[in-house]
């Protein structure tokens, strides 16, 4: 990849006759972003929700709410300094409650799928809600995405915290969870997760944000370029549960090591693509040391030049190409989220790990601390190489 535009050039563009980032943000709010605090203020289960903002001097602004500890908007500049919201979502708490789709939220206690909603710890069987075909998905009927989190605001960091009680959604142990969002001057949004438990349990957290780098609701993501630092996926059965094996991506539609257009191979006659109705799979990140912060993926859109680079301490990356988006919901800009109009890249442990001994463990013990760091770096470049 080449021809990156440094941050100081973006700043220079703003200084030489273009509106300031604050002015652009104001224009965006008046035009299509227009997120208002009052639309995110609601009492749910006796707790108050609100809207929170992180922004830097380069025009990057991140909107958050404590309902689901979720991202509700990400505004970034394109090659010409134009600011656009690239994170699909809704304009109010009521819409998030009514329409769902896991947009921008933290999912847990266990992100992704658990086969038949069952797992065992120390010969004790646990049963979870079945909410995705025959399987459990994203923590259950009322997972972390539907909880109102407590909030601590700092200068450049928003910290959300939540206590998940013993037996909630069928999981053992009382778990204390925090998620800290921070934005720096290098256009890096860090998502730092931590958790403790008073009883042996399982955990797998991720953020389920979607991206369309042309702008939320602005058509397909099939023309985006994607690079994934991985040589294997965890292949799935017809219910999207991993079989327990690893599948080499060499000479398959799943090889994104050099980067390619997402739509290039998505309609290939490959059994895994048929099962997922496109890409809806976990890639095994090429990680030298489990738990080290590692480059996982890069997403780039050629007409705007926007990119986002993904790094994480997690061993897996779930890539979901919006295969079940069918225009049923309308987003912030008043446009429907059509088939494959957004992509989610979710740093995570592997799906169904509690039932696969050969997968990295998702067990959390008392006196231990779960920790995950994921970093999204936003920028622009004029060419993919």
DSSP string, 44-78: ETTEE--EEEEE-TTS-EEEEETBTTEEEEEEEE-
Domains and CATH numbers, the chain: 2-383 (2.70.98.10)
Report the DSSP beta bridge partners of residue 381.
4
The structure tokens 């006196």 sit at: 367
With 70 as the cut, is the pLDDT of residue 1 above it?
Answer: no
Q: Taking the model in full, what pTM does it have?
A: 0.90
Predicted confidence (pLDDT) per residue in 168-213, tens digit? 999 999 999 999 999 999 999 999 999 999 999 999 999 999 999 9
Torsion sign across C-alpha atoms 242, 247, 251, 256: positive
Token pair, residue 206, equals 């991720």
Q: List the catalytic residues.
A: 208, 346
Determine the pLDDT at residue 68. Answer: 98
Q: Distances from the Cα of 74 to the Cαs of 33, 62, 131, in angstroms?
A: 10, 5, 29
DSSP state of 369: -
Report the DSSP beta bridge partners of residue 372.
193
With 60 as the cut, is the pLDDT of residue 263 above it?
Answer: yes
Determine the pLDDT at residue 305. Answer: 98
Whether the bond between 109 and the residue before it is cis, its omega within 30 degrees of 0, is yes
From the number of C-beta atoms within 10 Å of its C-beta (0-12, 13-18, 19+), residue 15 rates as exposed
Q: Distances from the Cα of 208 to the Cαs of 43, 53, 87, 211, 252, in angstroms?
A: 24, 19, 11, 10, 26
Position 27 confidence tier, pLDDT thresholds 50, 70, 90: very low
With 70 as the cut, is the pLDDT of residue 86 above it?
Answer: yes
């Amino acid at each position: 990849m080449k021809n990156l535009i440094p941050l100081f050039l973006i700043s220079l563009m703003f200084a030489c006759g273009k509106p300031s980032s604050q002015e652009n943000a104001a224009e965006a709010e008046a035009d299509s972003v227009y997120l208002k605090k009052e639309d995110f203020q609601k009492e749910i289960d006796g707790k108050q929700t609100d809207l929170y903002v992180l922004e830097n001097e380069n025009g990057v602004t991140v909107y958050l709410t404590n309902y689901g500890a979720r991202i509700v908007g990400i505004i970034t500049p394109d090659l010409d300094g134009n600011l656009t919201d690239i994170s699909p979502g809704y304009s109010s708490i009521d819409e998030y409650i009514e329409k769902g789709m896991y947009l921008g939220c933290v999912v847990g206690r266990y992100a992704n799928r658990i086969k038949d909603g069952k797992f065992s710890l120390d010969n004790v069987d646990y049963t979870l809600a079945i909410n995705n075909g025959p399987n459990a998905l994203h923590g259950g009927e009322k997972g972390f995405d539907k909880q109102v989190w407590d909030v601590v605001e700092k200068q450049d960091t928003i910290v959300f915290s939540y206590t998940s009680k013993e037996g909630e959604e069928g999981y053992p142990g009382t778990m204390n969870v925090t998620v800290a969002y921070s934005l720096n001057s290098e256009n890096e949004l860090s998502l730092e997760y931590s958790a403790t438990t008073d009883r042996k349990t399982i955990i797998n957290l991720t953020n389920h944000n979607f991206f369309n780098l042309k702008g939320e609701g602005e058509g397909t993501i099939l023309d985006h370029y994607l690079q994934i630092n991985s040589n294997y996926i965890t292949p799935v059965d017809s219910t999207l549960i991993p079989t327990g094996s690893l599948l080499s991506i060499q000479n398959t539609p799943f090889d994104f090591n050099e980067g390619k257009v997402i739509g290039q191979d998505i309609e290939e006659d490959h059994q895994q693509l048929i099962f997922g109705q496109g890409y809806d799979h976990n890639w095994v990140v090429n990680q030298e040391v489990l738990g080290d912060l590692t480059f996982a993926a890069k997403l780039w859109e050629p007409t705007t030049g926007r990119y986002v680079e993904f790094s994480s301490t997690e061993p897996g990356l779930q890539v979901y190409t919006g295969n079940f988006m069918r225009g049923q919901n309308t987003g912030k800009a008043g446009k429907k989220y059509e088939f494959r109009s957004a992509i989610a890249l979710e740093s995570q442990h592997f799906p169904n790990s509690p039932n696969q001994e050969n997968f990295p463990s998702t067990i959390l013990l008392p006196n231990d601390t779960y920790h995950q760091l994921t970093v999204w770096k936003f920028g622009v470049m004029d060419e993919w190489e």
